[in-house]
Each structure stands twice: as structure tokens, then as C-alpha cells.
Amino acid sequence: MILSAEQIEYNLRRSRWLVDARSAQNVSHAGFHPAPKYARTNGKADEGGNLKIALIGTHGVGKTTLAYEVCSLLKKSHYNVELVAEVARQSPFPVNAQTTLEGQLWILHAQIAAELEAAPRAPIVVTDRAVLDNYCYLVNKFGRQPQLEAWLAWWMETYSLLIGIPIVEEGIPRDGFRSEDRAFQLRIHDLLIELLASAPFNRLPAQAIWLDAQDRSNWAERIVSAALPLIESAPATHLRNRSAR
């Protein structure tokens, strides 16, 4: 199902209004607070920009727990870091297989808004999801939307590092929010792989690094190790906490 330009524009306007109307409800861990204007970066952590690490993957694979672990390790090393938690949990619309177009547009806008709000508060931002894996749920229900993909590919260029979280054998933990349907979980995973391999998402400056599903013991340490070259190439005074100087 391909939406017309008029349908996309209508729902974009509606979604923007909904994001603005709920901005005081802390859509993500980053929250919605007045902040300085954020300049979109090229994925490098330099003065005036941000290093942004996105954990991507289907639901129920441990991204949220892992995001907190990565932030904890970075903070223990005295790096200044901000977490953007999963925005879908704050959506006023149905999620999972029952999602709506309005709901998915709300999530995409809320994700970007949360990342924009996090950026001025810390030079390193860790996000629980990127816009692309959120988009997979829209594709699963409504098919690919060329009108949206140029915009999403443009925003995907702001991520410095994409870390793919694989499906694990333990199953989907019950949390009362995400679907426990393994087939649905696998469809979203497959869609993410497919999108990453196809235009316009196959030319991103930050290619996805997939973790080993058979060895979860040091996932957080591996992510930090992958990020260190990017962190160390940036001015230390920009990334370190002031209290650690």
C-alpha cells in the first residue's frame, strides 16, 4: 500500500501537531525541554556536534537494557553521555501489529525530536533504536513509502555508529508492552536487514555492526570498544564530564 503525497502530508502535519501537544510528557528519557538549536552533524563527534550511537534491531532482544549498560560504562570512564530511550512506549496510538499510520508517524517524529533534545545536553548520545528500525513497523503494516525514505535516509546520516542487536534464542521477555509473537519479531528483523541492504539506506556513512547472538556476555564492552576510535578522535574536553577534568 503506497500512500499518496496528500495522505503523507496530511499525516505528517497531524503527527507534528501531536508531538508538539505532548511535548511536556517526556516522550523519551531525553525529554522535551527548551534547548539550544541543534546543528545536524555528519556523524563525527567534533566541537559543536555529537557522536551518536544507535542500537538497532527488532523488539524483545535487549536493546533497552544494553543501552543503559553502555551509558553506564561510558559514564564510569567519565564521558558525558545522554540516553534516548524507546519513544514508542509513550505513543498514544496502538503499537505492535495493531499499529496505525498516525502512530508510526508519531513515533518517527518523536524519535527525531528526542534526539534533537538530547544533543545539546551531552556530546555522546546513545539511542535505543534509530529511525530506520522504527520505520520497519510502518513498512510491515503499510509497505515502503518512497516519500518518507529520502527524509529517513537523510536523518540516518546523523548516526555515528549503528549497532545491530540480533535475535536471541531465549524468547521475548514479557513486559506488557511489546508483542510476544516470535514470527512478528522475526519479520521486523528481516525487514531491517532488507532495508539496510537496499537504496537509499545502503549508502549510509555508518554501516551497521552486528553483535554475536551466541556471546552476550560482553556486548556492552564490545559496543564501547567500537565507539572508542570515534570518541578518541574528538577533543577530549568536549566529551569528558567537567567533573572529571
Residue type, 81: V
Whether cis (ω within 30° of 0) applies to the bond prior to 205 is no
Cell of 230: 570515534
pLDDT the model gives residue 20: 40
pLDDT in tens, 7-47: 545 454 544 443 343 333 333 333 323 333 333 344 444 33
Q: How confident is the model at residue 96 (pLDDT cuts 50, 70, 90)?
A: confident
pLDDT in tens, 174-219: 777 778 889 999 999 999 999 999 999 999 998 789 999 888 889 9
How far apart are the C-alpha atoms of 184 and 226, rounded to whole Å? Answer: 30
Sheet containing strand 81-84, edge to edge, reads: 81-84, 124-128, 51-56, 161-164, 208-210
What single string gives the DSSP state of each residue in 128-157? ES-HHHHHHHHHHHH---HHHHHHHHHHHT
Instruction: Calculate Rg over the CA atoms of the chain.
Output: 17
How far apart are the C-alpha atoms of 123 and 51, rounded to whole Å? Answer: 6
pLDDT the model gives residue 61: 92
What single string gives the DSSP state of each residue in 37-72? PPPP--S---TT--EEEEEE--TTSSHHHHHHHHHH
Domain covering 5-32+42-244, topology: Rossmann fold (3.40.50)
pLDDT the model gives residue 101: 95
E-assigned strand segments in 91-212: 124-128, 161-164, 208-210
Top-ranked range on mean pLDDT: pick from 6-20, 114-128, 160-174, 222-236:
114-128
Sign of the dihedral through C-alpha 39, 71, 162, 9: negative
pLDDT the model gives residue 42: 43
* pTM of structure: 0.77
